[in-house]
């Protein structure tokens, strides 16, 4: 007998699937970044083998590569035709001003706390801030620190984070 779901249950099921896929994306991203850290800043992978390893569709691998390993995040992804979906990921050195501009652009006019946490992780990876600074900045842009109507929280968070990043850029000596 086929199980039938009401509209609310279908929405919950869809949300759970989205959350599961986000978690798979996070795991794939961490796996690839670990491999990059162990190598000489480049790796070659087979999309289908990676998809099989994580029990996901190859499109999930494509999603991770396009959203988490873009040029503005300091990665060059080269896809080779044939050979079962061979992909080369290269970590590229970016000038700190370019990184700052990309982060400011990514933040935009408004940013959620989850996206802000991701930005802080990028800053750690790029050695722009220490773990201690990540915690302090996170506290400064947390919902508890921003005492304002919900409609303004994400805008204020974006302004605070952009100003911190700009202050760090002007005080960093390279």
Which of 27, 59, 91 lies at the terminal end of a domain, its last residue?
91
CATH, residue 34: 3.30.56.130
Domain of residue 136, residue span: 96-171
Q: Total structural domains in the chain?
A: 2
Provide the pairing of β-strand 86-91 with 75-79. antiparallel
Nearby residues of 162 by Cβ (< 8 Å), 6 or more positions away: 104, 107
Considering the domain boundaries, does residue 16 fall inside one? yes
Q: Is the pLDDT confidence value at 15 over 60?
A: no
Considering the domain boundaries, does residue 41 fall inside one? yes
Give yes or no: residues 100 and 166 share one domain: yes
> What is the pTM assigned to this prediction?
0.60
Which of 91, 108, 131 lies at the terminal end of a domain, its last residue?
91
Q: Express each pLDDT in 30-43 by its tens digit.
A: 889 888 888 767 89
Packed helices 150-171 and 96-107: angle between N→C axes, nearest 10 degrees: 170
Q: Express each pLDDT in 17-32 by its tens digit.
A: 555 555 888 889 988 9
CATH, residue 101: 1.10.1200
- Is the CB of residue 152 less than 8 Å from the CB of residue 109? no
Which of 59, 91, 123 lies at the terminal end of a domain, its last residue?
91
Considering the domain boundaries, does residue 2 fall inside one? no
pLDDT-derived band at 13 (thresholds 50, 70, 90) equals: very low
- The Cα–Cα gap between 48 and 95 comes to 34
Q: Express each pLDDT in 125-153 by its tens digit.
A: 888 899 999 999 999 999 999 999 887 99
C-alpha distance from residue 39 to each of 33, 34, 36, 116, 124 (Å)? 10, 9, 5, 28, 19
pLDDT of residue 82: 63
Q: Is 95 helix (H, G, I), strand (E, B) or coil?
A: coil
Considering the domain boundaries, does residue 113 fall inside one? yes
- Looking at every residue in the chain, the average pLDDT score rounds to 82
Give yes or no: residues 17 and 87 share one domain: yes
Give yes or no: residues 135 and 122 share one domain: yes
Considering the domain boundaries, does residue 68 fall inside one? yes
- The Cα–Cα gap between 58 and 101 comes to 32
């Amino acid at each position: 007998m086929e199980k039938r779901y009401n509209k609310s249950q279908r929405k919950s099921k869809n949300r759970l699937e989205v959350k599961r896929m986000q978690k798979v994306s996070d795991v794939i991203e961490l796996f690839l970044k670990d491999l990059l850290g162990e190598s000489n800043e480049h790796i070659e992978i087979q999309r289908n083998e990676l998809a099989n390893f994580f029990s996901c569709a190859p499109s999930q691998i494509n999603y991770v590569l396009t959203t988490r390993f873009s040029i503005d995040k300091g990665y060059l992804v080269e896809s080779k035709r044939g050979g079962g979906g061979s992909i080369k990921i290269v970590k590229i050195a970016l000038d700190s001003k370019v990184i700052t501009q990309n982060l400011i652009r990514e933040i935009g006019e408004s940013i959620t706390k989850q996206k802000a946490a991701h930005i802080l992780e990028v800053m750690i990876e790029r050695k722009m801030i220490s773990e201690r600074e990540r915690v302090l900045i996170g506290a400064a842009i947390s919902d508890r620190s921003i005492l304002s109507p919900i409609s303004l929280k994400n805008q204020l968070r974006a302004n605070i984070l952009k100003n911190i990043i700009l202050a760090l850029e002007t005080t960093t000596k390279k």
